[in-house]
Structure 1
Amino acid sequence: MCGIAGLFHLGTPKPVDPARVVLMTDALAHRGPDGSGVWTAQGVGLGHRRLSIIDLGGGAQPMLSADEQVVVVFNGEIYNFADVRRELQATGAQFRTDSDTEVLIHGWRVWGPDLLPRLNGMFAFALFDVARQMLFLARDRLGVKPLHYVALADGSIAFASELKGLLANPAVRRELNPQAIEDFFAFGYVPDDTCWIEGVQKLPAASFLLLERGKPLPAPRVWWDVDFTQRAKGTVADLEAEMRDRLRAAVTSRMVADVPLGAFLSGGVDSSSVVAFMAEASSHPVQTCAIGFDSAAHDETRYAAEIAKRFACDHRSRIVASDDYAAADTVARMFDEPFADASALATWRVSQLARETVTVALSGDGADEIFAGYRRYKFQHTEERVRSIVPQGWREPVFGSLARAYPKADWAPQMFRAKSTFAALALGGGEAYARAVGVTPFEERAGLFSDSFKRSLQGHRAEDRYVAAMQNAPARDPLDRAQYADLKIWLPGDILTKVDRTSMAVSLEAREPLLDHRLVEFAATLPVSMRLRGGEGKWLMKRTMRGTLPDDILYRRKMGFVTPVSAWFRGPLAGEARRLAGLADTGWFERTTLERVAEDHIAGKRDHGRLLWQLAMFEKALALL
């Protein structure tokens, strides 16, 4: 795993100062502590920071072809590089290293952009073709690895793995994008289709940019998509067998490394499944690690220990204090943009623990998105059945009235919180799901933001991207549409960003076998009843793992990495909650609303813990600019 950065002049090829590229790569040193390199020519400069994983001695970058006509900097891993290498050797390609990076050089020469569909991996890379004066930027299918870019005033394009790499370049302006701020308060993260720094873009997942000298900056081109329109045929037994084969292949393909390798183990279905297949394939005990909390309601370490014992793992766990909020400043610095998924704290802590003994760790991320594991999918599925029966003209008057009349009961058990269900049924499916995945609803944001800030949004509304994604999804069923939107928006913007930044902050490579594109494509063809049945998500995956994993792991209620932010803001961080009213000084927020949010939460009248966490992380991100 690595960090990459560079500059390319689209117009007249002006000299590139290597020191400018070094500034950008130095800001990414945490992504690659094992080495660094810079290559420059007239009008172009490529920089790299290396975390050595494969071919420790021969994989230095920037890597040049033998004739020095192709240069590449690469962040990620190509899991099938040996197969691609053999295919290229059959065409006459001669390799000088055992690195997966070199297949990009030879693959470009043989296939050009058509190289990408042949790759199974997580990657973001920049490749410069000297003869054609062309820079090729590409990103993996699901967006596991990040890549940011920006057009500068001098006609050049700057790119970097993380925003901090771009901001190290003094030519990058630090003007904030109000629409991205709206997006952050809607979802708790800045989605992948925008950036909170005006002008900066993130190359979308499964896309590439082909920059040619003398031509304007093009739009990214999509090279892969997941298709939910097809349905797998076969018996449950057939699909179960195929599921097991695909799970096994996804895990074993990610066990190739020339450095110590282990796994995150929460004790949930997903990470336990990964560890089960790792143990099956390994001749040595799998090294696993788990983080727990000193609050019994949030601690899963006993389940992780159960799985570790079952598969004879070399297991370590560590308990983190529930008042670990002192680490929030450190975590905020990892993301560059405001990021309010509070589980980032726990993900960073488990990455720290893993890095003490391994350089690569496999995780269970992605299964909820591809196999419909989130509870919100169950609610969406049920609500869509009601919408299919009750005409739209009746739903708003009936359910809208009930939603307005029903009391808001944040304190009550989930089954008694009918207000949100009534409100959802009054809306269309896309609109309702956009709200379900959000943090701060549109109506609350309207009271939170000042009038001048709302005017600066020019009609932009964060939820519209979800509605559009679901409307345009290659899908047959409302569940397909919800999952597709999550794969395009939630997964790269929140989950994968969280894992990438927190693991890379400690120079750990995290791999997500459950996001193997072959497994994703298979999951998208499963009939709805194979994903969601009887209110149980991940139905076929759990059935497949029966006997391998115990039932108390397969069918217990999902906990996840929960950070008790609501309790913090009623206790040790109550003063911090009140102090956040100072954000009104930016001119973007209503002071009276900020004050009321804090006081109502502290008094227990409302649960505003997530909104207060958003405000706190936004303030910390502002302070870093």
Structure 2
Amino acid sequence: MCGIVGLLDLKERREVDRELLGRMNQTQFHRGPDGEGRHVEAGVGLAHRRLAIIDLAGGAQPLSTPDGRVTVTYNGEIYNFPSLRRELEALGYTFRTHCDTEVIVYAWLAWGERCVERLRGMFAFGLWDRERKVLFLARDRLGIKPLYYAEMENGWLGFSSELKALKVHPKFSRELDPLALEDYFAYGYIPDPRTIYRRAHKLPPGHYLVMRQGEAMPAPKCYWDVRFEPGATLSESEAMEGMIERLREAVEVRLIADVPLGAFLSGGVDSSAVVAMMAGLMKDPVDACSIAFGDPAFNETEYAQHVARRYGARHRIQQVDPEEFSLIDRLSGLYDEPYADSSALPTYRVCELARQQVTVALSGDGGDENLAGYRRYRWHAYEERMRSLMSSPIRRPLFGTLGKIYPKMDWAPKFLRAKSTLEALARDSVEGYFHSISVMGDGLRQNLYSGRFKKQLDGYHAVEVLRRHGENAPENPLSRVQYLDLKTYLPGDILTKVDRASMAHSLEVRVPILDHPLVEWMATLPPDYKLRGREGKYIFKKALEPHLPDDVLYRPKMGFAVPLAAWFRGPLREKVRSALLGERMLDSGWFDPAFLHTMVDQHQRGLRDYSAPIWSLLMFESFLRQA
């Protein structure tokens, strides 16, 4: 895995500031400590930090064709590069290395913009074609690898793997985007294509951008989308067989490396499935690592150990404790913009643990989105059935009124906490799903925001992110919310978390369940093969029964969470108060100071559970200190 940086003069062909390009590149040293390279010509500069995985001796970048016409700086892995290489050699192209990078430059020459459609893997790259005067930026289909770009105030365009590289440029605008802040406090992350900065953007997954010197900045173009359309009718046994066959193949192509390779093992279904497949394909025992929590309600290591023993894995465990609060500033620096998924903390530690033994790790990310593993899918299906029984003119005022008068009882047993469900039933399908996934609901955000902030939003509401994607979403209620998560939560939260946490330790993470042929095939499965009754990942679990014990497959889902509510009332009590109620937050102009006090006081007295909002505010406060 690597870090990429580039500069393009959009107006003329001015000389590139080599020293500036080098400093931008150096900010991403952690992404590639094994080497660095730069390519500079009139109006164009490309740079690269390398983490050597394949062809350790011959894969230096930026890489150019022998005539210098095409140069690429690239981050990722192309798993089908051997077959592409043979195809390109048959077309007359001659290769000088054994790495996958060289495939990209000849694929561009052979197929132009459509080259991305031929690539199987995770990637983000910038390619310069001197003859066509074109800079081509591309990102993989699911958004496993990041790519940021921004137009500077002096007419240059910059792109990079992380925002921190763009921030080095003296003409980069650091003006915050109020709409991105609304998105952040709603979702806990900032969905593509926005960033926290008004003038910087994320290239969306499955998109590319073609820029020509002297022309206006174009809009990104979509080259891939997942289609939840019925495929060939499969019996359950056929679907189970197809699932294992495709998963095993997706794992197998990700075992190619010239460096030590291992896996994350949380004890959940997805990571356990990946380890089971690896064990059947590798000669040596799998190197697996897990994170433990002192609180048994969050600790899954018993199940991870069960899987490790079954497959003879070399298994290591590390415990995360409340003192890990000291990582907040470190995490904020990694993400470069507010990011509020608290599982970033154990993810950081599990990556640190893995890197002690391996350079590449396989993860189980993507199973929940593709196979309906989240509990919220079950609740959404229930709410959709309720919505179908009552017309909107009746349902909205009825449940809206019930939602307003029903008390908020975070302290009560779950079956009495009906307020959120009643509020969701008063909304349409997309609004209801937005309500269920929001870190802070509409009412909470309205109470939190200052009057000035509300004016800056000018009526903008974060639900518009889902509505935009909803225009292309399938009709089936379950498939619709899976599609929305694949477009927002997966790249914006899950994959961002793993990329930054792993790259902080110079660790490459590969994601077999997000192999795009597998994703396309899973999308064609009937919805009831994914969610049946109360059982998510139904067909996946059935297929894995010969490979994993029932107590791993069919126990309640725990997730990779941390016990924030207890931490904020106990060992981290004073740290929360000093951060959220200090001058920086109270004087920032973004928040209502009185409500900040109310939120902290009510949580710490046990009257309300504000743990997720408090964490998001802590991460924002840390961002403000480092911005």
TM-score (norm 2): 0.98
Which SS does the other structure have where 1:507 is aligned? coil
Amino acid at match of 1:208: Y
CA apart distance, 1:609: 1.0
**Residue of structure 1 in register with 2:510 after alignment:** 511
Separation in 1, partners of 2:232, 2:469:
23
- 2:286/2:313 contact within 8 Å kept: yes
Aligned identity (percent) is 50
Give the partner amino acid of 2:501. T
The amino acid across from 1:525 in the alignment is T
The aligned residue for residue 460 of structure 1 is 460
Give the Cα separation in 1 of the matches to 2:316 and 2:279: 16
1:567, distance to aligned residue in structure 2 (A): 1.4
Aligned position for 2:157: 157
Instruction: Deviation per CA, 1:53-76: give whole Å up to 9, x if none.
Output: 010000000111111111000000
- Cα distance between partner residues in 2 of 1:147 and 1:511: 17
CA deviation map 1:401-448 (0-9, x unaligned): 222222211122333211111111111111000111110011111110
Paired amino acid for 2:548: L
> Can you list the C-alpha shifts for 1:247-299, whole angstroms capped at 9, x where unaligned?
11111111111100000001110000000110111111111111101222211
CA distance in 2, matches of 1:202, 1:95: 32
Alignment of 1:305-384 (within 5 A): 305-384=305-384
Which deviates further from its counterpart, 478-487 or 222-231? 222-231
Instruction: Name stretches of at least 5 consecutive residues in structure 1 with no aligned partner.
Output: none
Cα RMSD after superposing both structures = 1.1
1:299 aligns with 2:299: yes
- Given that 2:322 and 2:572 are in contact with CA atoms closer than 8 Å, whether structure 1 keeps it comes out as no
| Counterpart position of 1:279 | 279
1:203-253 Cα deviation digits (max 9, x unpaired): 110000111122111100000000013344121111111111111111111
SS at match of 1:276: helix
2:23, 2:488 → 1: CA distance? 31
Would you say the 8 A contact 1:262–1:360 is kept in 2? yes
**In the alignment, structure 1 residue 166 sits paired with structure 2 residue 166:** yes
Q: Letter of the 1:282 partner, please give it.
A: M
Supply the distance in 2 between the matched residues of 1:474 and 1:608 (Cα, whole angstroms): 32
Is 1:18–1:39's contact at 8 Å kept on the other side of the alignment? no
Pairing 1:547–2:546 present: yes
CA-to-aligned-CA distance 1:163-216 (integer Å, 9 cap, x gap):
001001111121111111111111111112201112001111000011112211
Asked whether the equivalents of residues 228 and 476 of structure 1 are also in contact (C-alpha less than 8 Å), the reply is: no
Letter in 2 for 1:223: Y
Q: Is the 8 A contact 1:294 1:322 kept in 2?
A: no
Are 1:446 and 2:446 matched, yes or no? yes
2:617 is equivalent to residue 615 of structure 1: yes
Q: 1:255 maps to which residue?
A: 255
Alpha-carbon contact 2:473-2:484 (below 8 Å) kept: no
Tell me the residue number matched to 2:226. 226
**Which amino acid in the other structure matches residue 116 of structure 2?**
L
Secondary structure of the structure 2 residue equivalent to 1:364: coil
Please give the alpha-carbon distance, in whole angstroms, between the structure 1 residues aligned to 2:403 and 2:34: 57
Determine the structure 2 residue equivalent to 1:92.
92
Deviates more, 1:569-578 or 1:595-604: 569-578
Matches within 5 A, 1:91-240: 91-240=91-240
Which residue in 1 is equivalent to 2:66? 66
> 1:563-582 alignment to 2 at 5 Å?
563-579=562-578, 580-582=580-582
**Structure 2 CA distance for partners of 1:322 and 1:303, relative to 1, 3 Å:** farther
CA distance in 2, matches of 1:450, 1:153: 30
In the alignment of these two chains, the number of paired residues is 624
Gaps of 5+ in 2: none
State the alpha-carbon separation in 1 of the partners of residues 408 and 459 from structure 2: 28
SS at match of 2:373: coil
Aligned to 1:593: 595
Which deviates more, 240-249 or 118-127? 240-249
Secondary structure of the residue aligned to 1:254 is: helix
Q: In 2, Cα distance between the equivalents of 1:285 and 1:573?
A: 40
**In 1, Cα distance between the equivalents of 2:31 and 2:48?**
10
Letter in structure 2 aligned against 1:68: G
Q: State the alpha-carbon separation in 2 of the partners of residues 430 and 131 from structure 1.
A: 47
CA distance in 2, matches of 1:405, 1:201: 41
Amino acid at match of 2:512: P
The answer to whether the 8 A contact 2:69-2:129 is kept is yes
Amino acid at match of 2:76: G
Residue 524 of structure 1 corresponds to 523
Report SS of the residue matched to 1:394.
helix
Asked if the contact 1:229–1:476 (Cα under 8 Å) also holds between the matched residues in 2, the reply is no
Contact 1:434–1:467 (8 Å) recurs in 2: no
Q: Is the 8 A contact 1:48 1:73 kept in 2?
A: yes
Distance apart, 1:576 and its partner CA: 2.9
SS at match of 1:615: helix
The aligned residue for residue 607 of structure 2 is 605
The answer (yes or no) to whether the contact 2:153–2:173 under 8 Å persists in 1 is: no
What is the rounded CA distance, in whole Å, between the counterparts of 2:284 and 2:15 in structure 1?
52
1:420 aligns with 2:413: no
